[in-house]
Structure 1
Amino acid sequence: MGLVIVANRAPFRLTPEGLAPAVGGLASALLPVLEARGGVWVAAREEGEKALTLRPRESAIRLVQVTLPQKEWQGFYGGFANRILWPLCHYFLEKVELKRDYFQDYVRANQRFASKVTELLQPEDVVFIQDYHLMLLPKLLRERVPNPIGFFFHIPWPSSGVFRVLPWGKALVEGLLGADLIGFHTSEYAENFLRTAAHYGFPIEGNRVRWGDRWIRVEVHPLGIDTARFRELVRDKRVQEHAQALKHLAGKRLILGVDRLDYTKGILERLLAYERFLRTHPHWRGKVTLFQIATPTRTSVAEYRELKRQVDEVVGRIMGSFLREDWIPLRYFYQAFPPEELVAFYLAADVALITPLRDGMNLVALEYAYTSEEGILILSNLAGAAEYLREALLVNPYDLEGIGAALDQALRTPKGARQERLQALWDRIDGLDVKRWAEGFLHSLAEGR
């Protein structure tokens, strides 16, 4: 039985040596499964963008790309996915742009995916669709083929009241109900989806939704990290040496933030909380340094450029207010780092401050907790990972004083207590291994047919 994975993004990146696996949770989770089973990864390509080769060297995986005209791509991806679904699902209603043209492009793009996948499918193939870009695709496929279809929603599913802001909400829910199994990271998201489906008149029974004569299952399958890979990196001598160099660079207790520069990640609020922490806890001045990594993203979008301007302003203000000849309070890295360098930062950090304003899961929190040897994790209670990482210090990311109090507590926590917390987190993260996530979902999809 072959596997057809459908996602907006290809799992490969172009390097001087050819195609290499992309860095990230989804590629880490699905490529080994696809390699073992044999199959196809279907992804979008904007017209004019360089096409990737159909079959990477030394791989049994085929990559098939769906070419979208530039205007349609902009409406589908830049418009409906990123200016409607992304902010709405993260509760940023003031950023939602309800433009009908965006939805029409979204429909057309999903139809192109449906045509391409239908061409490729063999009778015994299983289809596994990824994320909010392709919510209409399960229904479009179900109308054409009888194959097993699974869908995973990787970002938060908001409350029913928030989702109903969408004029096309029922069409999107109906689109997902073409699948046999719909997966979410947390029980909260699954329950929100069931309530949303019930609002639109679909009968609910336990964790199942009825559409016509079919029952669709809704399950929780939390995505984890590649634990084996991170164990290797922790043991790597070069990584350990880099960690020591970072400790030396900090010179003090090291607090670490790692995020994409996206408004959902709470970087601006975190910097404001750190600024307030230094004012209200003066005994830590000269004794701590915050390293904030902000990976550039969507730099062509004006809203993201404005966020960068605001972040730069607060960074400058912190440095201007607190910098001393013998102490640098903040080091700001506006760049991306490969996994081996990130692990060095994790090993060097006494505290990780991961405070997204809303997040589907947040794998950085898992990576830090799994690789740290003596550190403590401060985590937003609005991240999906908070449902599983209860031994972290959970904070409200909007509560600047609360974040400061958690920082003070984390920095005061004795080594033994930190290691007890970490041991509990290690055990739980082992159970969330990324490969187990993919196999567990596909096993459930097969069992339920």
Structure 2
Amino acid sequence: MSRIIVVSNRLPSPRSSAGGLAVALTDCLSATGGVWIGTSEDIATEPGQRLRPLDETESLFVKMGFDLTRQEHENYYLGYSNSVLWPVFHGRADLMDYREEYDISYHALNARLAAMIAGLLRPGDLLWVQDYHFLPLAAELRRLGVSNAIGLFLHIPFPDTNDLQVIPDHVELLRALLDYDLIGLQTQRDVNAFLGSCRTCAGAELMIDGSVSAFGKRTAVASFPIGIDTEGFALEASRTLPPRHVEDPERQHLIIGVDRLDYSKGLPQRFLAYERLLETHPELAGRVSFLQIAPPTRSGLRAYSEIRAELERLAGCINGAHADIDWTPLRYIHRALPREQLGSLYRRARVGLVTPLADGMNLVAKEYVAAQDPENPGVLVLSRFAGAAEQMTEALLVNPHDRGAVAQAIHRALRMPLGERRARHASLMRKLLEEDITWWSTTYLKRLRDTVWHRKIVTAQSELASQIPG
């Protein structure tokens, strides 16, 4: 069986509980004796030229790391990846900070990584690249003569044409992307955005089978909405006791939000919507509590320090205006909690508040539903701009920019009759069980293999046709 070679910015950490992606990739890599490649936690003084095996003797697959220099961390990671691609792909082109040194470092890192990977590949290996850090990686590998099947899965949204064109080298990015055999996106909306950009910016031809042809290349494009380990997460949540001092559900309803601290998550808008709820429904005083968990991320960038300061200010203002001696309406925690503790909190919460301004999928929405007690489930209030909204239509879908509508949805969720809550939850769970994390990885890899066979057949047919006398 051919190996699967996964490339991601980070490797799974043995020190933390495995999330859905780590579970799925670990399973498929273990089955083939594959390799997982990612950045190490070390900062090097000089760019390394070889992948370093990481010693984990109990693993059924190999983990290999590569070091970043301090300059690469600043320019490739914080710079081009997270100051150019991240804001543009999340509809915040106004926050883009493009610098030529970022662009140079991003492409140089991908070229260096391609050279390291090329020496590792065997005939028949499938290379599966994860996310926006490595958009040019396939092009760099093709330049080195690599003919193996290479697929990309983009975990974040794909921008519309107008946003994409803000990036100075957007045409070259599209050209590089078409060196992948298969591009997997989270939603059909993302597929449409990608195809529209290819048509507008590269004059691409859209083929009847859903592939796109431009620059003399042809690439398959499809949506593969990522799932979670639905059964495993549900079981874990049902077995774990909630933390001490969590409110009595008979006395006070818990509303929960869990997000990395990022401007794409709509956290200030969420706080203001909760404030609107308290203003318009004073009878809820002392009867509801909103817990927002927002672990830090990319703390070296100014936009993140600004949103942290804004959230701390809003939390103080809301509590100052509405709190009582025995009631704190909003609790804001700026650190990560253990995964199993989150599951128990989700199960305890009457409302899951997931309201990003833009999101590739949002697995918190799926984890919240999976964690619920089916006999007495909570209600998911979900932004229609999260990728999960395409699948999770039984949630209460909202526009996160409309604080009044979000407040009304929370109020509706708090008052929703048990029968309706059960029906919505059962329908959502059916979808989460059908399209879980194993379905995602299996479906993607099958499509990648099928794409390779299709390419071989087309190539053989073309060669045969060229040999027939005209």
Task: Provide the rounded CA distance (Å) in 1 between the counterparts of 2:358 and 2:7.
Answer: 25
Q: What amino acid does structure 1 have at the position aligned with 2:407?
A: G
2:189 corresponds to which letter in structure 1?
Answer: E
Q: Kindly tell me: are residues 42 and 367 of structure 1, through their superposed partners in 2, closer, same or farther at Cα, counting changes over 3 Å?
A: same
Query: Partner of 1:221 in structure 2?
Result: 224
Q: Which has the larger radius of gyration?
A: 2
SS in 2 for 1:128: strand
Which whole-Å CA distance do the structure 2 matches of 1:256 and 1:234 have between them?
Answer: 15
8 Å CA contact retained: 1:142, 1:179: no
Distance 1:177 1:202, change over 3 A: same
Query: Aligned partners of 2:213 and 2:31: how far apart in 1?
Result: 33
Judging changes above 3 Å, is the alpha-carbon distance between structure 1 residues 46 and 253 closer, same or farther for their aligned structure 2 residues? closer
Task: Tell me how far apart the structure 2 counterparts of residues 253 and 339 of structure 1 sit (CA, whole Å).
Answer: 22
The Cα shift of 1:232 comes to 2.4
Match of 1:272 in 2: 272
The aligned counterpart of 2:173 is: 172
Structure-to-structure mapping, 1:242-391, within 5 angstroms: 242=242, 246-248=246-248, 251-373=251-373, 374-391=377-394
In the alignment, the residues of structure 1 paired with residue 386 and residue 327 of structure 2 have an alpha-carbon distance, to the nearest angstrom, of 32
In 2 relative to 1, CA 23–151 (structure 1 residues): closer, same or farther, beyond 3 Å? same
C-alpha distance in structure 2 between counterparts of 1:272 and 1:361, whole Å: 23
* Match 1:398 to one of 401, 416, 421: 401
- Paired AA for residue 41 in structure 1: W
Q: CA deviation at 1:53?
A: 5.7
Amino acid at match of 1:194: L
- The correspondence of residues 172-191 of structure 1 with structure 2, limited to 5 A, is 172-191=173-192
Q: Does 1:422 align with 2:425?
A: yes
Instruction: Rate the CA distance shift 1:55–1:46 in 2: closer, same or farther, 3 A.
Output: closer
2:263 maps to a residue whose letter is: Y
- Aligned twin of 2:29: 34
Q: Give 2:121's aligned amino acid.
A: L
Q: Does 1:48 align with 2:50?
A: no
Q: 1:249 to 1:428 in 2, by over 3 A?
A: closer
Q: Is the 8 A contact 2:255 2:351 kept in 1?
A: yes
Equivalence for 1:89? 89
CA 1:329/1:126 → structure 2, altered by over 3 Å: closer, same or farther? same
1:441 matched to 2:444: yes
Which of these residues, 238, 260, 277, is aligned with residue 235 of structure 1? 238
* Contact kept? 2:175, 2:215, Cα under 8 Å: no
The code of the aligned residue for 1:87 comes to P
State the 1:202 CA deviation: 2.2
Match of 1:411 among 409, 414, 419: 414
Aligned to 1:135: 135
TM-score after normalising by structure 2: 0.90
| TM-score relative to the length of structure 1 | 0.94
Q: Which runs of 5+ in 1 are unaligned?
A: 16-20
Residues 35 and 402 (structure 1), Cα distance of their counterparts in 2 relative to 1, 3 Å cut: same
Query: Would the aligned equivalents of 2:231 and 2:433 in 1 still touch at CA under 8 Å?
Result: no
Secondary structure of the corresponding residue to residue 247 of structure 2: helix
- Residue 155 of structure 1 pairs with residue 156 of structure 2: yes
Q: How many angstroms does 1:69 deviate by?
A: 2.3
In structure 1, C-alpha distance between the alignment counterparts of 2:79 and 2:268, rounded to whole Å: 24
Q: Aligned equivalents of 2:44 and 2:341: distance in 1?
A: 30
Deviation at 1:175, TM superposition (A): 1.1
Task: Give the Cα separation in 1 of the matches to 2:265 and 2:429.
Answer: 24
Partner of 1:146: 147
Q: Which amino acid aligns with 2:32?
A: R
Counterpart contact for 1:244–1:348, Cα < 8 Å: no
Q: 1:29, CA displacement in angstroms? A: 2.0
Residue 18 (structure 1) aligns with: none
| Cα separation, 2, equivalents of 1:110 and 1:251 | 55
Taking only the aligned residue pairs, the percentage that are identical comes to 38
Q: Mean Cα displacement is larger for which, 298-307 or 433-442?
A: 298-307
State whether residues 394 and 428 of structure 2, in contact with CA within 8 Å, keep that contact through their aligned partners in structure 1: yes
> Is the partner of 1:149 in helix, strand or coil?
strand
Q: Which amino acid aligns with 2:306?
A: E
Given residue 334 of structure 1, which amino acid in structure 2 is its aligned partner?
H
8 Å Cα contact 2:253/2:349 also seen in 1: yes
* Deviation (angstroms), 1:249: 8.7
Shift of 1:45: 3.5
Residue 177 of structure 1: CA displacement?
0.8
Pick one of 187, 204, 207 that aligns with 1:205: 207
Q: Report the CA distance shift for 1:413/1:187 in structure 2 as closer, same or farther (over 3 A).
A: same
Residue 41 of structure 1 deviates from its aligned partner by: 1.0
Instruction: Work out the CA distance in 2 between the residues paired with 1:49 and 1:316.
Output: 42
Distance in structure 2 (CA, Å) of the matches to 1:161 and 1:334? 34
Separation in 2, partners of 1:214, 1:208: 10
Query: Is residue 90–residue 264 contact of structure 1 (8 Å, CA) maintained in 2?
Result: yes
Taking the aligned partners of 1:341 and 1:57, their CA distance within structure 2 comes to: 29
State the AA in 2 paired with 1:227.
Answer: T
**SS, match of residue 380 in structure 2:** strand
Find the aligned partners of 1:283 and 1:303 in 2 and give their Cα distance.
37
Distance 2:427 2:245 in 1: 28
Q: Deviations along 1:111-163, whole A, 9 cap, x unmatched? A: 01110110100011110011100000111112321111111111000111111
2:465 match:
none
Do 1:46 and 1:73's aligned partners in 2 also have CA atoms closer than 8 Å? no
RMSD: 1.9
Q: Which moved more, 1:417-426 or 1:220-229?
A: 220-229
